[in-house]
A and B are shown apart, each in its own frame.
Chain A
Amino acid sequence: QKEVEQNSGPLSVPEGAIASLNCTYSDRGSQSFFWYRQYSGKSPELIMFIYSNGDKEDGRFTAQLNKASQYVSLLIRDSQPSDSATYLCAATGGGSYIPTFGRGTSLIVHP
């Protein structure tokens, strides 16, 4: 059974700080990794994807992948109250075409 694990939080950070969200996955064959943001009552919105080891930056967001440790992270720089949401990590590959989602980490950015 392929699993993706996330700390449910909440993770609380002050405005302007760096928020660090973490995710581990069980299937070593996983190839593609995604971060989604989900506001309360809304559907998940894709914010980052990463396929290769290392860092990928997009604006205030940086995704980090370490396949040896089966670890994916999302850094949000200069956190804003509007970043307050649940962040879902997903992985696919390893013989399965179906993205497996973690339960999500709730992020609260307080002014």
Chain B
Amino acid sequence: GAGVSQSPSNKVTEKGKDVELRCDPISGHTALYWYRQRLGQGLEFLIYFQGNSAPDKSGLPSDRFSAERTGESVSTLTIQRTQQEDSAVYLCASSLESFAEAFFGQGTRLTVV
């Protein structure tokens, strides 16, 4: 596609439910990043994928968070047993290769009620 696509754009879920967020990177981009941005705050790194290498999960805040990516295609971020503090915008970005400029999707706004 022309840009990074994320779905859904908005998600409201009840506390304790699981949610799955999807990111479709720019075609040919080998690197993919997930960030979280709480209201009025900066970007918080979550996880990084590069090709078929093992992902860098060092930013995941707890074991309720997991992410997958098959090759250089779609990635899904799963949050289990959601908590109110998980409410944020989840941003996905992709780049042609590591160290290159990254392009962001429109984000998924997650609200846990």
Contact = CB atoms under 8 A, between A and B. Distances in A.
B65 interface: no
B100 A32 contact: yes
Interface stretch (B68-76, B80-88, B104-112): B104-112
B91 A43 contact: yes
Contacts, number: 50
A45 interface: yes
Interface in A73-108: 88, 92-93, 97-104
B102 A46 contact: yes
A36 B41 CA distance: 15
B99 A31 contact: yes
Contacts of B93: 99
Nearest to B97: A97
A93 B99 CA distance: 6
Contact of B107 (A31, A43, A97): A43
Main secondary structure of the interface of A (DSSP, over half): strand
Main secondary structure of the interface of B (DSSP, over half): strand
Contacts of B104: 36, 43-46
A4 B7 CA distance: 30
A11 B50 CA distance: 37
A29 to B, nearest CB: 11
A93 B45 CA distance: 15
A25 interface: no
A88 B42 CA distance: 9
A49 interface: yes
B102 A34 contact: yes
A49 B98 CA distance: 14
7 contacts: A43-B91, A43-B105, A43-B106, A98-B45, A98-B56, A98-B59, A103-B41
Given A92-B99, A101-B42, 15 more contacts: A36-B104, A43-B89, A43-B91, A43-B104, A43-B107, A44-B43, A44-B91, A45-B104, A46-B104, A97-B31, A98-B45, A98-B59, A99-B33, A100-B45, A104-B42
Interface of B: 31, 33, 35, 41-43, 45, 48, 50, 56, 59, 89, 91, 93, 98-107
